Amino acid sequence: MSARRLRWHRGRLLPGIAAGLLALLLPVTVRLMAGDWPTFGHDSQRSGWARDETTLTPANVGRLKLLWSVQVDNPPLALNALTAPVTASHIVTPKGIRNLVYVAGSSNHLFALDAATGKVIWQRTFQSSVVAKDEPFFLCPNAVNATPTIDKGRNLIYAIAQDGKLYGLGLGSGAIRFGPYQFVPAFAKPWSLNLQDGFVYTTTSQGCGGDRSGLYSMDVRNPRHPVTHELLMESGYGAGMWDRGGPLVGTNGRIIVSTGDGKFDPATGDYGSSFVAASPGKLRLLDSYTPLDWKLINKDDLDIASGGTVAFAWQNYNLVAGGGKQAVVYLLDADSLGAKDHQTPLFVTPRLGNDAKALEEKGLWGAPAVWKDAGGQTWLYVTLWGPVSKEAPKFPLTNGAVPHGCIMAFKVALNKATGKPVLEPAWISPDMNLPDPPAIANGVLFALATGENPQQVHVAGMIHFKSVAQWKANLLTTAQRGEGTHGAVLYALDAKTGKLLYQSGSAMKSWVHFSGLAIANGKVYAVDHESNVYCFGLKPAGK
């Protein structure tokens, strides 16, 4: 029996083998993962849930304070500065054993910082022999864009440089231990890396560097024989996979992505405005779901990919949830994304926002998150930009008007009539000026209000242009996108009610674009557009 079939026999381990493997593997898994945030969204499913965090609680999170902030030497490119942080604990470094925080920099850098002090332990500047054809702008920044991912077992952190090459660097030293090997085209726009069973995954979008929208994998198990696979989602240059978290690994082992606007025609291999599942490793197309109104989604530029995806198990289901600028959340069966016709979801919410169908500033942006409380209730959280829709369902708990944006919480529940899972509205957070993806730890939900300017073109909300040249002529410059911004703010909310427990005020110096948080060992890490890294933790009681 193959390793793949050993792990998954109708979605679960063979009972006789499971106990033995668990006894062998569980101690190692706990030792490797406790206190770590190794990838965007914490895990391969992009749950955003720090399962092992015990220090931060709803009772004490009001005592959060900024412990340190450090500006690293990384010039921003367009809207890009630092990637979302990732962390690893108990790493052997030249300075001794340290807990480390890692951020990749837009201008071809990777930094490792001491989690206790913010001091840079090591930094790596990636060397490149190619030059970008076009000047950077917000869609194609010619920058490092993919959040790195950590392989604690091999003591490596993987990152993609501007030239599209994949590096594996020593966690404690920054020494090159793997590659560099060409993974994606130079100056493509790869998204957050994922790592599962010896394969690194990423996606690309927007046709940057001449790339077509692709789902990529590289077998990194043998550093002398890397093997790369690619699955294109469009015969042309549409269907960009710009999910903030990159590809995810479903709880059934499948690789799952969502695609942006593009042609939908399975006969020609075109999967625009869809959710797609591929086999691990070689990326053979397995399944898809496409909404019945995909033509409208394309017409109004309501990319499904903007709101991200998350995978989780619930009762007997392997589930996927996500949505985009249309501001509806799709709940899908990961074992059969759209049922037999590939267009039937388990459940879809009413419109939650973006009544005007704006292509910017409104709708679902970022990435969803999932948490299971001590009572076994599963919660789903999504980020909404702009006010709540007139069509939105009634939420039992609200926390004031939300003209700029909010986090919405749903309970995953059983529809007794159909026997299928549904999303029940639970609460809406206080107002946040464009929230970023939430992260949950021990009953506390953390999220950044980014403070950015999301307007893309001079005529806000304008969709249709006569030509690409006309569209580019109407784009705001990076300097203009920086106008009207303010410092990002960290919020901590009660994960069951949305009640405000803490906000960081003016602690952060600048805004941030398309980022995320990391939580480890009682600390919360964030970044901003001026290449500052921030660490928040508890101040002593009574001070």
Which pLDDT score, from 0 to 100, does residue 343 have? 97
* Residue 32 binned pLDDT confidence (cut-offs 50, 70, 90): very low
Mean pLDDT over residues 41-49, rounded? 98
Using alpha carbons, select from 379, 384, 378, 439 the residue that is nearest to residue 407.
384
- DSSP readout, 83-121? PPPEEEEEEEETTEEEEEEEEEETTTEEEEEETTT--EE
- N residues, the chain: 543
pLDDT of residue 477: 86
Q: What is the pLDDT of residue 64?
A: 98
pLDDT of residue 359: 83
Give the span between the Cα atoms of 533 and 71, in whole angstroms: 6
Phi and psi dihedrals of 202, rounded to 5?
-155, 170
Over 70: is that where the pLDDT of 542 sits? no
In order, the DSSP letters of 180-201 are: EEE-S-TT------EEETTEEE
Q: Give the tens place of pLDDT for each residue, 481-518.
A: 989 999 999 999 999 999 999 999 999 999 999 999 99
Give the pLDDT band (50/70/90) at residue 460: low
Whether 13 shows a pLDDT value over 70: the answer reads no
pLDDT at 218 over 90: yes
- Per-domain residue ranges of the chain: 3-18+42-538
What is the structure's pLDDT at 360? 85
Q: How high is the pLDDT of residue 468?
A: 62
Contact 146, 193 (CB under 8 A): yes
26 has a pLDDT exceeding 70: no
pLDDT band at 473 (very low <50, low <70, confident <90, very high): confident
Question: How far from 61 is each of 65, 409, 510, 540, CA to CA, in Å?
Answer: 9, 20, 23, 11
Q: Does domain 3-18+42-538 have CATH number 2.130.10.10?
A: yes
Q: Regarding predicted confidence, which is higher, 279 or 7?
A: 279
**Distance between CA atoms of residues 110 and 170, nearest Å:** 12
- Integer-rounded Cα radius of gyration of the chain: 22
Look at residues 443, 307, 311 and name the one whose alpha carbon lies nearest to residue 377: 443
Lowest mean pLDDT among 156-170, 233-247, 380-394: 233-247
Given a cut of 60, whether residue 314 has pLDDT beyond it is yes
Per-residue pLDDT of 261-279, as tens digits, reads 999 999 999 999 999 999 9
* Residue 186 banded pLDDT, cuts 50, 70, 90: very high
C-alpha span between 196 and 162 (Å, rounded): 23
Per-residue confidence (pLDDT) for residue 456, from 0 to 100 = 87
pLDDT at 34: 58
pLDDT at 4: 35
**Residue 107 above 50 pLDDT?**
yes
Is it true that the peptide bond before 141 is cis, omega within 30 degrees of 0?
no
d(CA 229, CA 183): 9
What is the per-residue pLDDT across 373-407, written as a single tens digit (0 to 9) for each?
999 999 999 999 999 999 999 999 999 999 999 99
Q: What is the pLDDT of residue 31?
A: 40
What's the pLDDT at 292? 97
Q: Is 512 in a helix, a strand, or coil?
A: coil
pTM above 0.85, yes or no: yes
- Is pLDDT of 212 > 60? yes
Q: How far apart are CA 170 and CA 195, in angstroms?
A: 16
Tens of pLDDT along 282-304? 999 999 999 999 999 999 999 99
In the prediction, which pLDDT does 465 show? 66
Q: What percent of the chain has pLDDT over 90?
A: 84
Instruction: Note the pLDDT tens digit of each residue in 222-238.
Output: 999 999 999 999 988 88
Please state which of the ranges 18-27, 120-129, 174-183, 433-442 shows the lowest mean pLDDT. 18-27
Angle at 103 between CA 182 and CA 42, to 5 degrees: 90
| pLDDT for 202 beyond 70 | yes
pLDDT grade for 457, boundaries at 50, 70 and 90: confident
Taking residues 455-468, what's their average pLDDT? 68
Which segments of 183-269 are extended strands (E)?
A: 194-196, 199-203, 214-219, 227-232, 248-249, 255-258, 264-265
What residues have CB less than 8 Å from 94, skipping those under 6 apart?
121, 172, 173
Instruction: Quote the pLDDT of residue 466.
Output: 64
The pLDDT value given to residue 543: 61
Comparing CA positions, the residue from 192, 209, 82, 201 lying closest to residue 139 is: 209
Give yes or no for residue 463 having a pLDDT over 80: no
Task: Work out the percent of the chain whose per-residue pLDDT is above 70.
Answer: 91
